[in-house]
Amino acid sequence: MTPTENAAACLTAGGVIAHATEGVWGLACDPNNEYAVQRIIALKGRDADKGLLLIAGSAQVFAGALSVVEPEVRTRVLASWPGHVTWLLPGDEYPQTIRGKHTTIACRVPDHAQARQIACTFGGCLVSTSLNRAGEPPVMDYRQALATFDNLVDYTVPGEISGYSGPSAIYQLDGSIVRAGGR
């Protein structure tokens, strides 16, 4: 099997993986697997009220959330994907552990071919949050991922970030910036 197929099989079995994204390494799992989601929250030492980000291989995965968004806003969101841009979309269809204390969900179709392919091979969206403990800098390369998290995850996908510096920008639907992204 390819690394992408191994990652998708691990995710399907309820595992947690480490993988490269645009600007940092990430932890990923099936957002509908409560045990895996809780593992990620515990691995990061993250406040569960913060919620988690979802990535997908295509915008079609987020069609339900996008269908209730104003057409001109939907056009803006779709024009930014694939990209290093995360949008806060209506999130009623996702579990509370993904939304945290929010009514929205952070969604992105990443500008990272391997991350998109993992999500496509898995067959849906994935939790994808930076590979680091809360308050620490994110992991930036494969060797660091292996050294710091390989024994804590079920699979580390060989790969590289795609040239951005840092996490994605996060936007509200009105266009206001919640977090500036690295370029």
pLDDT digit string (tens) for 145-181?
Answer: 999 898 999 999 999 999 888 889 899 999 888 888 7
Is 34 exposed, middle or buried, given 0-12, 13-18 or 19+ CB atoms closer than 10 A?
middle
Residue partners of 162: CB distance under 8 A and separation at least 6 = 20, 21, 22, 23, 111, 112, 113
183 pLDDT higher than 90: no
Q: CA-to-CA distance for 111 and 42, rounded, in angstroms?
A: 27
pTM: 0.94
Q: CA-to-CA distance for 26 and 167, rounded, in angstroms?
A: 10
Strand partners of residue 127: 29, 54
> What ranges do the domains of the chain cover?
3-179
| Residues 18-29 as b or e (16 or more Cβ within 10 Å = b) | bbbbbbbbbbbb
Arithmetic mean of pLDDT, 131-140: 92
Class of domain 3-179: alpha beta
Q: CA-to-CA distance for 25 and 79, rounded, in angstroms?
A: 24
Q: Of the ranges 11-15, 97-101, 125-129, which one carries the lowest mean pLDDT score?
A: 97-101
Taking CA atoms, 113 is separated from 30, 54, 74, 83, 117, in Å, by: 19, 16, 22, 10, 6
